[in-house]
């Protein structure tokens, strides 16, 4: 069974968007994330800048781990744990980026909203299946 076949068989919560929405939203979010990071990279060197960039990449690792756990391991529960970690480090990233560049932090807000929505979807899938 393909991973998408497994996903299609899952009961999903109300407001689950069609698959095509994900193909539109994620490229836009990754573009905003890249621009946000670029604003920080351009700043003068400092310990705060280094920490902000490090935390950005920690949250990005959780971002990349989520589909591997959810689709690859077919573990909605494991993916939920990954997503909670992602959100913690994302909010920390936004906080650290804000201290460096308000615009950089604001560019991450749509990503944060989408991840909170993903949390709702992930919790729904765990509860319904």
The confidence score (pLDDT) of residue 1 equals 54
User: Do 26 and 67 meet the contact criterion of CB atoms below 8 Å apart?
Assistant: no
The confidence score (pLDDT) of residue 4 equals 77
pTM for this predicted structure: 0.94
Round to whole Å and give the CA distance between 94 and 90.
Answer: 6
Residues, the chain, total? 129
Which residues of the chain register pLDDT less than 50? none
Q: Which residues of 8-31 are buried (b: 16+ CB within 10 A; e: fewer)?
A: eeeeeeeeeeeeeeeeeeeeebee
Domain segments of the chain as ranges: 48-129
Residue 45 burial by Cβ neighbours in a 10 Å radius (0-12, 13-18, 19+): exposed
């Amino acid at each position: 069974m393909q991973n998408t076949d497994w996903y299609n068989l899952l009961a999903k919560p109300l407001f689950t968007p069609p698959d095509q929405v994900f193909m539109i939203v994620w490229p836009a979010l990754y573009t905003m994330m890249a621009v946000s990071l670029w604003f920080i990279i351009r700043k003068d060197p400092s310990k705060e800048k280094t920490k902000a960039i490090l935390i950005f990449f920690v949250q990005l690792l959780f971002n990349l781990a989520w589909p591997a756990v959810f689709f690859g391991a077919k573990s909605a529960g494991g993916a939920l744990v990954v997503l909670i970690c992602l959100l913690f480090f994302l909010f920390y990233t936004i906080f650290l980026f804000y201290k460096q560049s308000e615009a950089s932090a604001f560019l991450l807000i749509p990503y944060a909203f989408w991840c909170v929505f993903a949390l709702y979807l992930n919790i729904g899938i765990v509860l319904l299946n």
